[in-house]
Structures are given as C-alpha cells and as structure tokens.
Structure 1
C-alpha cells in the first residue's frame, strides 16, 4: 500500500501516463468524472488492473476502491459469475445481422427482474437510453419541453441536458429554452411549472432518489401530477437500479413510472443500458402500430451478446446472493465508522457522510461549514496516502470487513490532518498543488 505520508506517495509512471493520455485524448480520460483534475495534483493514479474491491496502479500501489467505474461495478472487479457468463459467449460471436437468441433471454430476464416494466430495449450507455426516453415522451405527447429535476447532477451527454450546465458551449440557445427545471421534493413548485407551461411539457425526468430519500408521498404525488397534466413520468434509475432493489427505486417505493432507464450496475462494468416502460409507449418505437414511427434506439452494438450475458449474470447474482442487502450492510458499517472517526477527531460537522447506505457520498466543509474543493483536496490526498481510492464512499459487494476497518482507520488519519487545517483556517499548506475541480465548469 502507499505510505502514510502523502509527500512520499510518488506516482512517476502514472504522471507520465497522464501526459500521454492528455496528448491524445481530450481531457485525458473518456469520462470527465475520471479526469485527473478530479484528483490532487500529481496524485491521479492510472490503473493497471483490478480484482474484487481492490485496484492496482501502474506504479505498483494497491488501493481499496470505492465508486468503482462511476458506480457501475457493484459486484467487484472480475466477478467470477459475470466473467464466466461473458467467456461462454466470446467464442460464439458477438454481433450478427439479425437478433440473437441472447436478446430474447436478456429481455425476459430483465422484465422478470423489473416487473413494473412491460417492454425493454438495450443500449450501451445511459445517455442514449435517457435521450430515447425524452424523444419518446415528446413523440407520444406532441409537446416540446422537457422538465428535469434541477437537484440531480447528470442525465445525458445530449443537448437537452448539457445545455443546462456550465459546459453548454456548442449548444444553441433555442435548444436550451426547451428544457425547464423543477426542485426535488417540492410538488407545489412542480405543479406551478406545469401550470406555467400548459400542454407544453412532454415529461418529468428525475432520479427517484439520490443522497436523500424521497419525502413521504412525493413520488406518488409526481405520478398524480404527470397523469393530471398529461405528461410522461421518467425515472432515471442508472444509480438506483439494483442498489436500491433489484427492481430499482420503483420496486422499492412502489411507484410505477411510464418509462425508466437502467445502466451502471446492470453490467458490472460491461457496457449495457436499458430503456424500459409501458407497452403502449415503447411500441411506438416498434413495428406493431399504425402511427408515426419513433426512432427510439438503434445501436450497432446495443445487443452485443457478451454484454447481455453479463447483465443476466448480474441479475441472477443479485437475486440469488442477496447483493442489495449486502451493499446496505457494508455501507452502514462504513458510514458508522467514518462518522465516528470524524467525530473523534473533532470534524464531524465538516466531513459529512450522507446518502443511502448502498450509495454513500461525503461532503467536505470548510470552517464556515460551506462545501470546499480545498478541503476535498486535502481529504483525498490523505485517503490516497492510506491506500484508499475514494471519490465517493459507494461500496461494492466485494468489500469485506477488513477493507471497511482499514478504510475507517485511514479516514481517521485524514480527519486528524483536516482538524489541523481547520484550526489554521487555511488548508493550503496541506494541498501540495492546485485544488481538485468540479466537473461542470465553464473554463478548463
């Protein structure tokens, strides 16, 4: 593991590899949230490989990893059941000129796991699925506007969403004007928005839950508002799918959306996503109707056989091994330990662990208890020094009690330094470089 002293955590090979990445790949990564600007300066490890809950960088350091694959690897890296399912398909071909029988089996398996949906179509990434849901809602209602939840950080790389962020360069203003926003948990504000744009809003799209649980009656209230105002209710279950329950948040809370999108945990790192929902809506993207055709999803690699096999193995594993319950138990142990460690070092009001146990994040607050990128940088540096790679505290089921205990020890060490910085009212001496940066910002 890396040494306890951050100053001695040297990553010469990773630094050179990051330079090579930036020379050829805009941003130095294929996902902005994986960029080296999200990590302390010169402490962005480049990964060699992973197994279970651990990853190794190309400098030879091993880390306990959280938030694996941006929450997609919930069973741990190279999970045996998933790898074996993929391996069985590799010698059978991966893509054909007609649908494979695997597509039938994968659809049947998904709809059995998510019984609130009546049809499903697979794709490779979440953005394609959410954008297809929006397009379908517009086609079904004949309305132009999209209403998204302003409190949720990401829905799609496509214009209808990215135009609402600080990184809106290249997106026409006319496109941005068609997206409006509503606050999470506030039914009155949402109804006011629907009333302000009568017969114009095609859909309400939101994550049904994130770091906060939905207020009592909130999701059911949204369901009633959507029905009354004639718009489509879309649940983005990219994160909540499987981590909340095998059937997603809709299965846990008992509120059925018109359309929903799944991804991330569905493939345990393999590229697969899904758009699911009501038959009468989904069929508008099919062949068995007499209306205008909707170009719903048509992706060359959407039905890649080994990815669909991975998805089926993931669903089987979740159900047979009680993975959702394990994620919650691990998360509860981690949250309790980290909170106790922070409190013990006198920073319990500054290092704040929050969220559902299976989807924990942490906030780093300054001496005025305001979110701080400077203090986040300090905290991340100390975690890395202790061998913990954790942009969040999102657990995988591959973690064990020893991993959690080790993480809590490292959090305690980080919080001891955090306390020193708070006492000095200046974390700068502990940063050793520029602070980490938010993903969504106007200037590089």
Structure 2
C-alpha cells in the first residue's frame, strides 16, 4: 500500500486555509478516497504524475482537460523560457499576441477575430455579452456546463448567491433534442440573444443535431455559440466545428489550447467581435500575458502535426472498447455505463441493491489508484500516452470490476473499501464540471 503521509499532512493544512482544500472543485480530495489516495502532486512528466510522497501514477485526468500533449514538454517549456527572458506582462501589447491570434484564426473555422482571456468561463461570458449587445436581446438558451459566472451557473441547482432576476434570463434545453430548443424559441419569440451549447456531450450529436441547431438559431435571429472549452483541440485541431462541419457565429476555447497554461479565447465573426471597439467591455489586465501565449503557440504547432489526432483517437478507442469488453465480461452492464467519444470517454455508475452510485465509484477509484492510475471516471487522452499506458489502465479497471462484482454480491463495501467514500461537490442531477 502506498504511503501518503506528506499528502495527508498537507491536506490538514490546506482545509484550514482554502475551502475544500483546493482551488478547483474537481481537484479536491473529495473526488478520491481520502486517506488512500494522493491529495497533492509535485511534478508531471509526459503522461505521468508524481505525488509529494514520491508515488508515480499514469494520469488520465490531464489537469481536467488542458494537458493535450503531456507534462513538461520541451518545446512548450522552451517557448515559455524564451519569453520569460523578455518579460511576462507589459505596458503595451506584445508581438506574441498577434502571432497567436493569427494562428487561432488559421485553425478555427468561425474565427475572424479573437480576444484572449484566462478561463473558459471568461470566454463564454464574453461571448454571451457580445451576443446580447449584437442582438439587443437578453435571454440565453443553454445546454451544458459553461463556467461559474452568474448567467450560466444560475441556471443550475448550484445557484446560491445568484439573483433570481439573473437566473431567469437563462433557459435550458436538452442536448440532442431539437424540439426542446424549438419550444424555447416559441415561448420567447424575438427574445433569445444566444444559443450556447457544448457541441460534444456524452456520445456526441445525433441526427444532424448541430446543423439543426444552427438552422433554428439563424431562423430566429439569435447568435450561435459553441462552447469548445472542453472539445476544442481535443477531438480535432479545429474542435467540434471541424469534426462535424458546422460553423457557429462564435466559439469559446480554453483548456487544451495551452497544454496547461492559463489561457482562453473567444473567437467569431468580425461584425460581432468588433463591438469590443464600440464600448462592449471585454478587457482584462492579463489577457495579453505573454508566457501563456508563447507556450500556446508552441503547443498548437505540435497539435497540428500530421497524425496527432489519429494517435489520440486510436488510443481512446482502445480504452473505450476495452472498458466495454470488461463490463460485458463481468456482467456489469446495469451498473457501469461507458460514455463519451474515444478522446474523452469513461464510465458512469448506477445504484444497485443497498449500494449507491458513489459506493461503486469509490471502489472503482480505489482500485485504479492502487494500480497507479489517476482518473475521475471520464478520461482524457494526450499525445504522451501510448498503448502501454492504455493496457495498464485496462488491467487496473479489471481489478476494479472484480471488486465491484464482489461488493454487489455481498451488498456492501465492507472489506473492500479502505479509504473514505468519494464525496464530490457536484453530485448527480447537478451540473458536472468538465
């Protein structure tokens, strides 16, 4: 059994000074079996993480998605170091801002102009503000998770602290259900400024759903926004827009565009984006921070090399099909569901007998950690993963399923679960952070 002495000591300190002991919900200790899992990472290398106690893990979380290439990548590091010698932030813009904007416009189908910010929520919020100004309307139709800002999170059950008047301006529709969006347009004619959605949810769009959303949005005079914070640079270089050949009016990007560096962007049609020149306020002190931009340019140059996404899809398919085979082998189809397209796929759990889905999740998480795998269910594949790491993942997953089968048979986690039960901040029926 691995030693987590330093992690546990740090966690005791962390919970005294930081809510949940972490700066991001999904990086909190509560997403793992406390006491039998690492809580703090010291460094990363390729697709491996090393915790503060010296334990080594294969990482399939990829920092919640931003790591598209791998940790400690020489080309990205060198770009950041070279820029660091010049400076980080300046009193006027730097050349690197233009270079990155030109690169994004070259890659992203809808991008005619770009504005850089820092977090995915900054980018989606900027897009909503621009859409409202462009249309002169206030309502937003939403599907998916779009960040912590009031207009978005106010539409969820996690809406404490959000004024009701703001929450009421956002209406939700169901992914892959075009009728649910049609109903919103019928109920609120000429009032919806924007339709924003994560274009790839679960197993992706069906029956030309994205094209139908575009047609319906155009018909009703609203701005179509793809939130590609998760999907951008993960499934294809040009994101879901390239993958499904549907071009929105605007798109928000983050996570994978910087291989872990703090950078995001809102991109779109020039006529919408140029409103920023006419008093629509989208401006941040660190929007032009140069280290992240230099690193992002280097990361995008790696991702655009031929074969990059073939590699990611091949390994993701190997992982997904392997999981499906194990579920069939151990007859767990009613308890474990495989979800997601190969580059971003994983397992979901159901209640069974006296065990709730978090009991099953905990057994799974514990077995994966014991076998040197870090995962929170959904997995991200990066360019540093190889078949060797996928095989290790599937070997760990088989042990997890054997333990789950045993727990189901005895209708208890007794004698199986060592650490505390997984206790995520966002539980079922509440929006999940990607």
Q: TM-score range by the shorter chain?
A: over 0.9
- TM-score of the aligned structures, taking structure 1 as reference length: 0.92
Q: 232, 244, 252: which is aligned to 2:235?
A: 244
Contact 1:161 1:179 in 2 (8 A): yes
1:405 is displaced (CA, Å) by: 1.1
Shift in CA distance, 403/40, structure 1 to aligned 2, threshold 3 Å = same
Shift in CA distance, 393/369, structure 1 to aligned 2, threshold 3 Å = farther
Q: 397, 400, 412: which is aligned to 2:383?
A: 397
Instruction: Spell out structure 1 runs of 4+ moving beyond 3 A.
Output: 368-371
Contact 2:111 2:269 in 1 (8 A): yes
- SS of 2:233's equivalent in the other structure is helix
Unaligned runs of 5+ in 2: none
> 2: CA distance between counterparts of 1:220 and 1:165?
26
State whether structure 2 residue 94 is matched by structure 1 residue 100: yes
- TM-score of the aligned structures, taking structure 2 as reference length: 0.94
Give the match for residue 33 of structure 1.
26
1:388 is displaced (CA, Å) by: 0.6
Give the match for residue 23 of structure 1.
16
Contact 2:226 2:248 in 1 (8 A): yes
Contact 1:382 1:414 in 2 (8 A): yes
Contact 2:117 2:123 in 1 (8 A): yes
State whether structure 2 residue 208 is matched by structure 1 residue 217: yes
> 2: CA distance between counterparts of 1:330 and 1:192?
40
1:321 is displaced (CA, Å) by: 4.5
Q: 101, 111, 114: which is aligned to 1:117?
A: 111
- SS of 2:63's equivalent in the other structure is helix
Unaligned runs of 5+ in 1: 1-7, 288-292
- SS of 1:366's equivalent in the other structure is coil
Q: 37, 47, 63: which is aligned to 2:41?
A: 47
State whether structure 2 residue 416 is matched by structure 1 residue 427: no
1:194 is displaced (CA, Å) by: 0.9
Contact 2:336 2:349 in 1 (8 A): yes
> 2: CA distance between counterparts of 1:221 and 1:346?
38
Using the TM superposition, name which of 156-165 and 380-389 deviates more.
156-165
State whether structure 2 residue 349 is matched by structure 1 residue 358: no
1:426 is displaced (CA, Å) by: 2.5
Shift in CA distance, 371/180, structure 1 to aligned 2, threshold 3 Å = farther
Deviation per CA, 1:37-63: give whole Å up to 9, x if none.
111122341111110010011111100
Deviation per CA, 1:44-89: give whole Å up to 9, x if none.
4111111001001111110011121101101110112211111111
1:424 is displaced (CA, Å) by: 1.6
> 2: CA distance between counterparts of 1:370 and 1:127?
35
- SS of 2:99's equivalent in the other structure is helix
> 1: CA distance between counterparts of 2:277 and 2:309?
33
Aligned length: 426
> 1: CA distance between counterparts of 2:153 and 2:414?
33
> 2: CA distance between counterparts of 1:265 and 1:369?
40
Give the match for residue 437 of structure 1.
423
Contact 1:366 1:422 in 2 (8 A): no
- SS of 1:411's equivalent in the other structure is helix
- SS of 1:238's equivalent in the other structure is coil
Q: 180, 183, 198: which is aligned to 1:189?
A: 180
Give the match for residue 262 of structure 1.
253
Deviation per CA, 1:318-364: give whole Å up to 9, x if none.
11143222111111111222222333333244333221111112112
Give the match for residue 416 of structure 1.
402
Root-mean-square deviation (CA), in Å?
1.8
1:366 is displaced (CA, Å) by: 3.4
**1:89-168 matched pairs, under 5 angstroms:** 89-149=83-143, 152=144, 154-168=145-159
1:393 is displaced (CA, Å) by: 2.1
Give the match for residue 228 of structure 1.
219
